[in-house]
Chain A
Amino acid sequence: MAASYEYEDGGFQQQPDSAGYDPNFVPDSVKSFVVHLYRHIREKNVYEIHQMYESSFQTLSERMFKETPWPSVDAVAPYVDNDHVFCLLYREMWFRHLYARLSPTLKQRIDSWDNYCSLFQVVLHGVVNMQLPNQWLWDMVDEFVYQFQAFCQYRAKMKNKTAEEIALLKQYDQAWNVYGVLNFLQALVEKSTIIQILEREKEGLEEFTATDGYDYSGGSNVLKVLGYFSMIGLLRVHCLLGDYHTGLKCLRPIDITQQGVYTSVIGSHITTIYHYGFANLMLRRYVDAIQEFNKILLYIYKTKQYHQKSPQYEQILKKNEQMYALLAISLSLCPQVKLVEETVNSQLREKYGEKMARMQRYDDEAFALYDELFSYACPKFITPSAPSFEEPLVNYNQDAYRLQLKLFLYEVKQQQLLAGVRTFLKVYSTISLGKLANYMEVDEPTLRTILMTYKHKTHAVDSDGKITSNADVDFYIDEDMIRVVESKPAKKYGDYFLRQIVKLEGIMTDIDRIKLE
């Protein structure tokens, strides 16, 4: 996953040539690293590439480049036959390391953009004949979107920009331009024909998921898999822009109810579900959000021990916490606790139990909690347009976030009376409007609007216009009587027995294999 999202500008500005760093000095270990990596790439040895990429690069960074960048690409190029594509890949990693550990200057941000342009153009023109690990290809897309987001945040802090920086921003106005970013992702999706590949796969005409996207017949996986991950990149960019509908549309070719290439890399798996869930939360499709958060949180709970040494571990934990916060919000607005698995539920209670109880009250303190959880867990929204350099320079990096927060709290406010009504509906099977109005201390016409609001807000509309009920407690009104229908948890006996049959069969097969002496 990308560099730390917590990264802020303005702190220390590390100059690459300070602190005794010589960009042209290539230590032996780096020499050996690039020579071997280059060889493995030429030999399409995905396993070795993956080892070097995931562990050697981290180890060397940790040992030798904790506070300085790696040697410049020009210095290492002679060891890799000046291979054009390898140099682009090396620079991509070089910048990623710089973003993660140091503070990139504006010039470096622009250079990194240029490098992505060259790299993606090479890929799009089909001259890359490599087989790269999915992890690496995911990191490219992920980092590309991250650097775009970081650039927008950086640019929006206009107040303390120097004249020199402003001149650079004006001169390189195409760098990290939102059209450029979206068009690269879109071009990767289209050029890779990944959508058609996934369609053909459904009909059994092509293999993609079964091979994790790798090409075992001598071809390259780079364009195809980059195109695949770009769909997730588009989902994320659209969420950053507040365009949840379009974001989900970009993801639609991937069936997230199934395992897929997106689950082959933990970072991609989490990013997909985090944004999918968030977008559904904003679209009021709470059940969809709850179900997917539940699944991924359970998955992380069961597998996080295997990622402890991974460079992504911190990010995994961070997103894990954020998704618990989003789950707490979703369940407060739509208390379908039965959709949540027991392990996840007890984690949730531990983290947010007390807050969730207070969120049910819908007083000022409750709103403050919705605000707090949303602000903690939401994506880092961006304003994509360039600032006006003529007007007085103001910071606008918070604008996008504030708008999304405001609209979200507006929605919460519209639902504030629903929790009260829910409490009463739970304890009655029938009750007259007059009586309930009395209990709730409102007049009858107001109660009718509250009940209709309850119905409207608990019914989600999907992208095809189909309406589904998300209500935990449902009712209907017959003239002046409210009749309550509590939706009992649908016990899935069928599914349970089927799974047990398969399990038993497996055990019996195992037993059959045992030969007693």
Chain B
Amino acid sequence: MGKEETTQKSQLAVTVEQLIAVNPYNPDILPDLENYVNEQVSTQTYNLDANLCLLRLYQFEPERMSTPIVARILVKALMAMPAPDFSLCLFLIPERVQMEEQFKTLIVLSHYLETARFRQFWDEAAKSRHIVEVVPGFEQAIQAYAVHVLSITYQKVPRAILAEAINIEGLSLDKFLEHQVSNNGWVIEKGQGKGQLITLPCTEFNHPELKKNTADSVQLEHVTRIFPILG
């Protein structure tokens, strides 16, 4: 998920949200929405609804489409993984636009992320710095997604696998791990002769048995149906 906004919302954000709420189908708000995309990029915030609204206006009036803005929206959507935002955006972008080189690259990047091929992803991203590095926080957002996928898959992950997925090695990785240990409950132990093994925090996804407890409960509203009989 994109970074949650913790500080006060900017004036533009408030205005745009009001505009979308009052009249989402108004071509006049297009410039505001474009400015808002740029603001999301520079302030590391994210608003899918506003961006979809803009893509929709482009869809209605293709001659007003700005491809640099579309590219920024797509990079932001990649950063929102595991949410399906990237596909949501592609559904609204005409095929001939998707044929442009920068979009083809972004689609390949998305494909690697969707299929958890992180090695290839980082290699490709390194070749396409001009597209992704325009958006601050890109690397961290993808690392967060990689950590998410790892932690729904693994209870214990070998250090090398983690290193590859988040593209951090050596001393930087030590620092990263240190941070995770003290903040997010990661535990580092010695593996079976193959270096470190990292125990990821336990969730219902990597401990599926945790979820079980709720399966056979009865909802209160269902029980209420027999209240008149019991009474």
Q: Which residues of A contact B (CB under 8 A)?
A: 178-179, 182-183, 186, 241-246, 249, 282-284, 384-385, 399, 402-404, 406-407, 410-411, 414, 445, 448-449, 451-453, 455-457, 459, 461, 465, 467, 469, 474-480, 485, 487, 490-495, 498, 501-502, 505
Contacts and interface: CB of A to CB of B under 8 A. Distances in A.
B222 A495 contact: yes
What is the predominant secondary structure among interface residues of chain A facing chain B? helix
Contact of A403 (B91, B207, B225): B91
A397 B161 CA distance: 47
Contacts of B25: 179, 182-183, 186
B153 A477 contact: yes
A476 B24 CA distance: 43
Given A186-B25, A485-B208, 13 more contacts: A179-B27, A241-B56, A243-B88, A243-B91, A244-B88, A282-B87, A282-B91, A283-B88, A385-B62, A449-B115, A452-B116, A478-B155, A479-B156
In the A-B complex, the 5 residue pairs with the smallest Cβ-Cβ separation, listed nearest first, are A452-B116, A494-B218, A490-B215, A242-B91, A182-B25
B95 A449 contact: no
B216 interface: yes
Contacts of B207: 476
Nearest to A285: B84
Nearest to A509: B229
Contacts of B62: 385
Nearest to A485: B208
Contacts of B52: 243, 245-246
Contacts of B223: 498
A410 B104 CA distance: 13
Contact of B95 (A399, A479, A492): A399
B152 interface: yes
B224 to A, nearest CB: 10
Given A453-B114, A465-B1, A243 B225 contact: no
Contacts of B61: 385
Contacts of A491: 216
A505 B231 CA distance: 12
Contacts of B114: 414, 453, 456-457
B157 A477 contact: yes
Contacts of A410: 111
A477 B155 contact: yes
B140 interface: no
A449 B82 contact: no
A178 to B, nearest CB: 5
B60 A385 contact: yes
Given A186-B24, A414-B115, A449-B116, A494 B87 contact: no
B211 interface: yes
A158 to B, nearest CB: 15
Contacts of A494: 216-218, 222
Given A182-B25, A452-B149, A465 B218 contact: no
A241 B59 contact: yes
B205 interface: yes
A364 B46 CA distance: 39
B48 A501 contact: no
B115 A455 contact: no
B65 to A, nearest CB: 10
A490 B216 contact: yes
B191 A455 contact: no
Nearest to B223: A498
